[in-house]
Amino acid sequence: MSKEHLLEFAWGLANTGYAFLWNVRPDLVKGDDKAALPPEFFVATEGRSMLSTWCPQEKVLEHEAVGIFLTHSGWNSSVEGICGGVPMVCWPFFAEQQTNCRYKCTEWGIGVEIGDDVRRTEVEAMIREAMEGAKGREMRRRVQELRQSALASARCDGRSMRNVDRLIHEVLLA
């Protein structure tokens, strides 16, 4: 991501007025070893922001206070967001992220995508819609349906466990 994109996203997030946790890896900005934000950003978000370089993402996404999840749409993050029941703002960069984003935004109805040329007004509007708007309510409803399906699949008598049992019997015990 470019420094300009980082700043546009940061100010769009700040302008929403929402409290947030944001993990910003030091290597996030291309060609820079520090994803630095200006002091004005920290002043503008004081008392409602927490920035870190890492967090236990799965645990955070399971917390009821989380309203939306900004993700690059890697598969693990996508599954963790679904299992946490959290709608997603998708910002894919490479590999399978674009495909995962497409499914979340167009097929499953649990996400919205930030465009390649990100602008703070777009980010602010997207976050507000996801948090307060009709599309956000529908995304929350849909992601809860998928969450329930995922949880049911992982139970001892669920599809995933039955498939693992079948694999063991067909491959290892045959």
Q: Residue 8 has what pLDDT?
A: 96
24 and 53 in contact (C-beta within 8 Å)? yes
Residue 32, pLDDT above cutoff 70: no
Residues 127-143, mean pLDDT to the nearest whole number: 97
Q: Residue 33 has what pLDDT?
A: 54
Going by pLDDT thresholds of 50, 70 and 90, the confidence category of residue 35 is: low
Q: Residue 36 has what pLDDT?
A: 82
pTM recorded for the entire structure: 0.87
The whole-chain average pLDDT of the chain stands at 93
Q: Residue 172 has what pLDDT?
A: 86
Domains within the chain, CATH numbers bracketed: 3-172 (3.40.50.2000)
Ramachandran angles phi, psi of 20, nearest 5°: -155, 155
39 and 31 in contact (C-beta within 8 Å)? no
**Under DSSP, is residue 171 helix (H, G, I), strand (E, B) or coil?**
helix
| Residue 1 vs residue 103, higher pLDDT | 103
- H or E segment and range at residue 82: helix 75-84
Going by pLDDT thresholds of 50, 70 and 90, the confidence category of residue 156 is: confident
- H or E segment and range at residue 112: strand 111-113
Residues 144-148, mean pLDDT to the nearest whole number: 98
